[in-house]
Amino acid sequence: MNKDKVAIVRADNYNQSKAVIEKGCKLLGGLKIKPGEKIVIKPNLCSERSCKTGATTNLEFLRALIEYINNKLNGKCQIYIVESDAQGIDADVAFKRFNLLSLEESFSNLKLVNLSLDADLRITLDDGAAFDVLEVPQTLLHCTYFISLSKLKTHVDQRMSCAMKNQFGCITKKYKSIFHPFLSEAIYDVNNLYQPNLCIVDGIIGMEGFGPTDGSPKRSNLVIFGSNHIATDIVAARIMQLNPKDVPHLRFAMKRKKYSASDFTVIGEDPAKMSMAFEFTGEVPYYIARSGLRIQRWAQYLTWFGEYMQKVRSAIGLVGINTVTSKVCYSDMFRISKAMMFRFSR
């Protein structure tokens, strides 16, 4: 079986974006796209902070990626740049703030989509770790090729925020902090659902310190291209001189998927030579934050248990106790109750 690939490409500045993208995709064996594709690009626009801080996607790089795709397919595809509303900034505001509207003007086959306004359906996840149902935007439902375009950043609660964390923005709910106690599971679920075809982690200017939004710019002069989101993040962690197993959501995904370094090959630049120390918030603040999240997690379990008791009462009330005893089998009630497990229905 073909192993996943991760390519590291040196990049000194954003003027080289076009060449970097071409080289990175070539190292991965080329972009496997064909005319008629509905291509989704998920950039990182979670904050109002400028791309110069390393918090958000660089417009020049994004434009170069779109041009690369259009050149490859002679424009015979539909490209969607997607983002959801976040606590820090609404997607439509972000599109305007970061001048992405200019991309819609430049490319007739490109559309900006606010995922929070695009979902009228929910998908049932049989194998969800955090979610049993998740809102699925129409654009993502009909997407045929998914590109995750993230930044190489630290994270106050997760140590790093790169390829996998980027897909957290595919959750349509604006106030996503309610999922923070279950962030590893939530990140796992969205990646397991959308499984990016191509992950690009822009480390030309990333972020260190109080990431993913309030840190300081960190120049790593590289871009990571990966055909698998877990592999990409493992390499990103190593670049940041982190043990991948110290990153909670990465550790969770590696364990759940039984994924390890032996499942992918690294090509291009040597990660050992490209790695550099990233400043983190410090172990004590990190563990204080993690403890707080753990307490919230247990509080959520108790809340769910209480809601579960209410639902059992409602299920009986909905059909009526007479109907329950005369028409509905107890196996029906058991099946419904069993389905109300301790998971999010979002």
Partner 1 sequence: MQSIKIGIIGAGFIAQQSHIPNYLNNPSAKIIGIADLDKYKLNEVKEKFGIRNTFTDYKKLFKMGVDAVSICTPTSSHSKFTIEAAENGIHVLCEKPMALTLNEANEMISVCKKNNIKFMMGFNYRFIENHKKTKKMIEKGDIGKPFFVHGQFASSGPYSDIKKTGKSFYFDAKKGGGVLYDSGSHLIDLLMWFFGDVASLSAKGTTYMDGIKADDVASVSLKFKNNIVGTITVMWTLVNNWSGMGDESFVKVIGEEGKIVSDFFGPSLKYFNEKSKICRVKGIIQLTPKKFDPKMPFEALNKSWQEEIDQFVRCISKDKTPPITEQDGKRALEVVLKAYQSMGEH
**Considering the rule CB under 8 A, would residue 310 count as an interface residue with partner 1?**
no
Asked if 26 is part of the footprint of partner 1 (rule: CB under 8 A), the reply reads no
Segment holding 147, helix H or strand E: strand 145-155
Cα distances (Å, whole numbers) of residue 137 to 189, 199, 343: 15, 20, 20
Nearer to partner 1, 142 or 290 (CB): 142
Residue 134, C-beta contacts closer than 8 angstroms, at least 6 positions apart: 122, 123, 125, 128, 171, 189, 190, 193, 346
In the complex, the smallest distance separating the C-beta of residue 107 from partner 1, rounded to whole angstroms, is: 21
Binding mask 53-92 for partner 1 (x = CB under 8 A): ----------------------------------------
Whichever of 101 and 339 has its CB closer to partner 1, that residue is: 339
Q: Which helix (H) or strand (E) holds 131?
A: strand 131-136
313 binds partner 1 (CB under 8 A): no
Kindly indicate which of the ranges 41-49, 150-158, 189-197, 286-294 contains the residues binding partner 1, using the contact rule CB under 8 A.
189-197
Determine which residue in the list 86, 94, 119, 230 makes contact with partner 1, applying CB under 8 A: 119
Nearest to 123 by CA among 161, 88, 172: 172
- List the end-to-end C-alpha distance of the chain, in Å, as a whole number: 36
When asked if residue 117 is in the footprint of partner 1 (CB under 8 A), the reply is no
For residue 141, state whether it binds partner 1 (rule: CB under 8 A): yes
As a whole number of angstroms, the distance between CA 143 and CA 131 comes to 21
- Residue 36, Ramachandran bin (φ over 0: left; ψ between -120 and 50: alpha; else beta): left
Q: Looking at beta carbons only, is 278 or 344 nearer to partner 1? A: 344
How many binding residues for partner 1 (CB under 8 A)? 34
Nearer to partner 1, 276 or 336 (CB): 336
CA distance 346 to 131: 7
Backbone angles phi, psi at 99, to 5 degrees: 60, 30
The Cα–Cα gap between 15 and 127 comes to 43
Told to check if 325 binds partner 1 by CB under 8 A, we report no
Q: Is 329 in the site for partner 1 (CB under 8 A)?
A: yes
Joined together, the tokens standing for residue 244 give 């991948």
121 binds partner 1 (CB under 8 A): yes
- Least Å distance between CB 141 and partner 1? 6
Task: Indicate which single residue of 61, 131, 179, 194 sits in contact with partner 1 (rule: CB under 8 A).
Answer: 194
Indicate the DSSP class of residue 156.
T
Rounded Cα distance between 79 and 162, Å, is 22
To partner 1, the closest distance from the beta carbon of 143 in angstroms equals 5
Does residue number 140 form part of the binding site for partner 1 (CB under 8 A)? yes
How far is 34 from 165, CA to CA, in rounded Å?
28
CB of 239 to partner 1, least distance (A): 27
The only residue of 59, 93, 117, 123 in contact with partner 1, by rule CB under 8 A: 123
Among the residue ranges 47-55, 62-70, 133-141, 260-268, the one whose residues contact partner 1 (CB under 8 A): 133-141
CA dist., res. 300 & res. 103, Å (int):
42
Cβ 226 to partner 1 shortest distance, Å: 17
Closest to 253 (Cα-Cα) out of 189, 175, 327: 189
Interface residues with partner 1 (CB under 8 A)?
38, 119-124, 133, 135-136, 140-146, 193-195, 197, 315, 318-319, 327-329, 331-332, 335-336, 339-340, 345
